[in-house]
Structure 1
C-alpha cells in the first residue's frame, strides 16, 4: 500500500481476536486446556498505548540531508621552490602539524648555483662601489664629465639589485650552502596529502604536501524546491552528529551562508551551503541530517519518538480516528532525546499510537 490509503486497524478487530482465543481455549475439551493460563505475549501484542500530540514552538523549518565539506581556504598546498630529491620525509597523512613544522628535507642543485650567484653579485657590488667613488672624485675635479659619474652610480644600483634578488631567492627556499632545503607547514592543521617518498623526486609544479586547517566546516545541503524561497543566508542550522562510543548524539550549531538561485537538474533540488563549527568526530565527506530554523517562530507538535515509523520510505504516525488507527504521513524535522518534532501532518491534541506499531503496520498492509 501507499501512505495515501487509509487502511484501518480497529478496536473491534482486537475484540474479535480476543473472543476467538477464548472460544478456542473453551472448545478444546481437555482439563489442561481449561486450566491453562492465557498467553501474556498474545494479550500484550494487542495492547495499543496512546499519547497526545503536544504543541511546540520554535520548530525547525525543515530537516534535510547534508554532506560535510571543507571551506575553500582550508586547504593549503606546500610546494618546493626548486626541483630536487627528498632526503627525509617527517610526516604521514592524517598527522597533526603546527605552523612552521618541518615536512620534508629536500636536496636541490639550483640553490648551490644561487649561492655562487650571491658570491658573484657581492663581488660586483664591491667593484661597482669602488668605480662609482672614483668617478665621482674625477668628476668633482673636472677631469671627466659628470655624466660618466652618473653612469657608474647607475651600475652600482644595478649590482645591488642583482645581489638583493639572489639573496631573496635563497631566503625563500630556506636552503643552506649544500643545497639542502626544508619544506615547512604554512598553517596549523592536519596533513591531508603526502605525495612524495624518501628518495623520490620533488618539482615545483606538483605539491608534495597538502595541509587542511583545523576550523569550521561547510555542509552542502539539498533543499526541496518548496523550501527554496524560504531558506535564506543567515538562518540558523543544527547538524546532528551520530553518537561516538555509545554516547549521546552531538548537536552542532551553524548558519546558512549561501543558497543556489536555480534547481540542480540531476538531484532536482536546490543546493545550499551552511557553515558549522568543528567537533570531535566530524570529518569532510561525512553525511548527516541538518535542521534549518526559520527567522520567525516555527510551530508544530512533539510526540514520542517511538510513535514515528517508516512506511514506503516516508515517516508516518498512526492517528486514532474513533475506534480505528489510521496511518498518516508526517514531516519530522527533529528527532532526539526520545522526542520527535513534526512540522506538518499532525495537529496538537490528536491522539496517536505509541505501542504495537509493528502490528498496526502489519494490519495496514493487509
Structure 2
C-alpha cells in the first residue's frame, strides 16, 4: 500500500474511532480547534475562493464517451496533385524573355516566359496558307454555283469546286488544331496570324493555374525542347492553400484504418499542427516498404504546413466501446499513484484512480471515478504543486 492510500485509510480509521467516543467525557483542559483551522488530511488542498480563481482551476463532470484506439504513424506533407503544375513548353525554341521567377505569385493565364520558336512560326504559316486556300476555294465554289444556275457550267465542274472547297476547309481546320495542340488559343492564333514578320514565332509560356512559382529552369538565350521531344519542366507552379498529408500505414494496422477516421498531426515537439480525417486509403501495398497510404486533405491558408515536412499522425481507430474518460492533464502522479482531484468542501482531494489506455488526448478511468462525478479538468498540476508545498510545511490555507 502506498503512503497516500495508507494515510487515507488511517484517516478513515480515526474518524470511526472519533465517532465511537462521542459520548465519552472530554478533558476539561483540552483546547478546542479555532474557527478557520483545517484538520490535516492526506491528499487534501484547501483553497479560498480568491485563490481558486487565481490558480485557474476548472471543474468538469465525468461522463462516458466512445473509447478510441490511437494508431501513431509517420506522415509527410505533400502538395495536392491537382494543385501542382509542371509547365513544359509544347514547342521548342530559344528563350526570348522571362517574366516570372521563384517566389512570384501568378494567376492562371499569366505569361511566365516567351520563346522564339521556329516550329510555332511554321504552324502559323501553315494556318495562314490554309486560310488563303480556303477563301479561294470557297470563292470558286460560289462562282461555279452561280454559273450552274445560269446553265453556263457543268455539274461535274461544280462538284469539283465543291470538293476543293471542302478540302481547303479541312486543311485550315487541321492547321488550327495543330496550333491548339501547341497551346495557342483562338484569340492568340488570330493575333499571331496578323502579326508582323518575326513575331509569328513568339511562343508564350503561361501558367495553367493560380499559385506560386516554386521552380524555374530557364535562362535567357537557352534552347529548350518541347515536352513531346523530351523537354523537362521550365516552371513549376503550386497552390499550397490545400495540401495532403500522406500517412504511412503498416500492414499490421491496415484493418484498423478506415475513411473518415479523425487524424491529428503533430510536429517533432509534439505540438498539434493540424487536424483532419482520413479521406482515402490505398488498397495496395508499396513493394519496397510493404506499407499502404492513408491520405488526409488539409486546408493550409496560413501556409503553416510545408510540403516535404515530416509529422506524426495519430489516427483514432475507435472500437465503439464506451468508458469514463478524462483529459490527460487531469491525471497526475502523487506518491507513485495516479490521482485526479475532486472538489470536497472548501478544497480538493487527490483521489486515486486506475487508468486505462490513452486516446485522442483523453485517459480511460477504469476505477475510482464514476460518470457524473465532478473533477478538476484543468489545473491538476497546480494542485499537485500546492499539495507538495503543504507536505513541506507550507500550510493549507491559501
TM-score clears 0.5: yes
Equivalent in the alignment of 1:203: 225
Task: For residues 309-328 of structure 1, give each alpha carbon's deviation from its aligned partner in whole angstroms, at most 9, with x where no partner exists.
Answer: xxxxxxxx99539xxxxxx9
**Residue 118 (structure 2) pairs with residue 113 (structure 1):** no
Instruction: Report if the CA contact (8 A) 2:73-2:314 is conserved.
Output: yes
231-240 or 168-177, larger mean C-alpha shift: 168-177
Equivalent in the alignment of 1:61: 69
**Residue 102 (structure 2) pairs with residue 93 (structure 1):** yes
Task: For residues 159-206 of structure 1, give each alpha carbon's deviation from its aligned partner in whole angstroms, at most 9, with x where no partner exists.
Answer: 123234434555643455412222111101122322222221222122
Listed as ranges, the matches of 1:8-19 within 5 Å are none
Supply the distance in 1 between the matched residues of 2:299 and 2:91 (Cα, whole angstroms).
Answer: 38
Supply the distance in 2 between the matched residues of 1:250 and 1:87 (Cα, whole angstroms).
Answer: 48
Larger Rg: 2
Equivalent in the alignment of 1:284: 307
Judged with a 3 Å threshold, the aligned counterparts in structure 2 of structure 1 residues 225 and 232 are, in CA distance, closer, same or farther, namely same
Task: For residues 222-246 of structure 1, give each alpha carbon's deviation from its aligned partner in whole angstroms, at most 9, with x where no partner exists.
Answer: 3455542222112232323579xxx
Supply the distance in 2 between the matched residues of 1:269 and 1:146 (Cα, whole angstroms).
Answer: 74
Instruction: Choose which of 329, 343, 360 in structure 2 pairs with 1:304.
Output: 329
**Residue 362 (structure 2) pairs with residue 341 (structure 1):** yes
Judged with a 3 Å threshold, the aligned counterparts in structure 2 of structure 1 residues 268 and 146 are, in CA distance, closer, same or farther, namely closer
Q: TM-score w.r.t. structure 1 length?
A: 0.62
**Residue 136 (structure 2) pairs with residue 127 (structure 1):** yes
**How many Å apart are 1:217 and its aligned residue?**
1.9
**How many Å apart are 1:215 and its aligned residue?**
3.7
Instruction: Report if the CA contact (8 A) 1:56-1:302 is conserved.
Output: no
Alignment coverage as a number of residue pairs: 284
List gaps (5 residues or longer) in structure 1. Answer: 1-9, 12-47, 49-53, 309-316, 322-327, 335-339, 357-366
Supply the distance in 1 between the matched residues of 2:86 and 2:141 (Cα, whole angstroms).
Answer: 46
Instruction: Report if the CA contact (8 A) 2:140-2:161 is conserved.
Output: yes
Listed as ranges, the matches of 1:1-366 within 5 Å are 57=65, 60-62=68-70, 63-167=72-176, 169-170=178-179, 172-173=183-184, 174=188, 175=192, 176-177=195-196, 178=199, 179-205=201-227, 206=231, 207-240=233-266, 249=271, 251-261=273-283, 267=289, 270-278=292-300, 279-294=302-317, 296=320, 300-304=325-329, 320=337, 333-334=359-360, 340-342=361-363, 347=366, 349=368
Task: For residues 63-89 of structure 1, give each alpha carbon's deviation from its aligned partner in whole angstroms, at most 9, with x where no partner exists.
Answer: 332111233322222222321111222
Judged with a 3 Å threshold, the aligned counterparts in structure 2 of structure 1 residues 190 and 110 are, in CA distance, closer, same or farther, namely same
**How many Å apart are 1:221 and its aligned residue?**
1.6
**How many Å apart are 1:149 and its aligned residue?**
0.9
Supply the distance in 2 between the matched residues of 1:154 and 1:168 (Cα, whole angstroms).
Answer: 21
1:290 partner SS: strand
Supply the distance in 1 between the matched residues of 2:289 and 2:124 (Cα, whole angstroms).
Answer: 58
Instruction: Report if the CA contact (8 A) 1:128-1:159 is conserved.
Output: yes
Instruction: Report if the CA contact (8 A) 2:263-2:314 is conserved.
Output: yes
Judged with a 3 Å threshold, the aligned counterparts in structure 2 of structure 1 residues 196 and 134 are, in CA distance, closer, same or farther, namely same
Judged with a 3 Å threshold, the aligned counterparts in structure 2 of structure 1 residues 253 and 187 are, in CA distance, closer, same or farther, namely same
Q: TM-score w.r.t. structure 2 length?
A: 0.58
**How many Å apart are 1:270 and its aligned residue?**
4.7
Supply the distance in 1 between the matched residues of 2:154 and 2:297 (Cα, whole angstroms).
Answer: 70
Supply the distance in 1 between the matched residues of 2:294 and 2:359 (Cα, whole angstroms).
Answer: 17
Supply the distance in 1 between the matched residues of 2:286 and 2:117 (Cα, whole angstroms).
Answer: 49
Equivalent in the alignment of 1:4: none
Supply the distance in 1 between the matched residues of 2:317 and 2:291 (Cα, whole angstroms).
Answer: 19
Judged with a 3 Å threshold, the aligned counterparts in structure 2 of structure 1 residues 348 and 219 are, in CA distance, closer, same or farther, namely farther
